[in-house]
Amino acid sequence: MLKKEHQTFVNDARSYSGIETFTDHRLVKAKINIKWYKTKAQKTTPKLSLEKLRDEEYRKKYQSKIKGNIEEVKQATTVQEKWTCTVKVCKKATEEVVGTHDRVRKNENEEIKKLSEEERRLTDNINSTRNKRKRERIQERNKIMRELHKKMDEEEVTKI
């Protein structure tokens, strides 16, 4: 019923059949001990600044880079080689023309920083205590998070 690699997780397994059921299926009850392993974080590639391609100057530079490197694609013989070469040429041209931008955006607004710090403090408190007020603390945290998101959205709209 299990793959060999998962059999070590099962401590006890039993099947039960009942008179009330009119089928050949049986209820299976198992005690399992799952071991969780941390996975390595995947390396992310830098995000390209594609919004710059809306600008006519960047678009013309991009087109000229593609035209300059199109010979590489023409030299490929199979369809797969042509496709991989096309992708490589486009990525290379995009990186050269528009560049990349950072994924992490630090916020300079003091009110948002204060709300973020308050949210972190409440989260730590919720995780460290196991009493009846936990639900109230979670609700308070969620209220602060809604305020934080609202402020961030407002600030994002004003930047545009």
Beta-bridge mates of residue 14? 29
Alpha helix ranges (H) inside the chain? 56-75, 79-97, 110-128, 134-159
The encoded tokens of residue 149 equal: 């998101």
The pLDDT value given to residue 13: 85
Q: Does residue 121 share a domain with residue 93?
A: no
pLDDT at 50 over 60: yes
90 within domain boundaries: yes
Contact 137, 126 (CB under 8 A): yes
pTM, full prediction:
0.40
User: Largest Cα–Cα distance in the chain?
Assistant: 79
108: which DSSP letter?
-
Q: Does residue 96 share a domain with residue 65?
A: yes
pLDDT, tens only, 98-144: 887 765 556 667 877 888 888 788 777 766 666 767 767 777 877 88
40 within domain boundaries: no
Q: Does residue 53 share a domain with residue 80?
A: yes
- 6 phi and psi, to 5 degrees? -100, -5
pLDDT, tens only, 1-18: 678 877 888 888 888 877
pLDDT, tens only, 58-100: 889 989 988 888 888 888 889 999 999 999 998 888 888 888 7
The pLDDT value given to residue 80: 92
Gap between the Cα atoms of 2 and 10, Å rounded: 9
Gap between the Cα atoms of 67 and 160, Å rounded: 33
Domain that holds residue 58: 47-101
11 within domain boundaries: yes
Gap between the Cα atoms of 115 and 119, Å rounded: 6
41 within domain boundaries: no
The pLDDT value given to residue 83: 92
Q: How many domains does one find in the chain?
A: 3
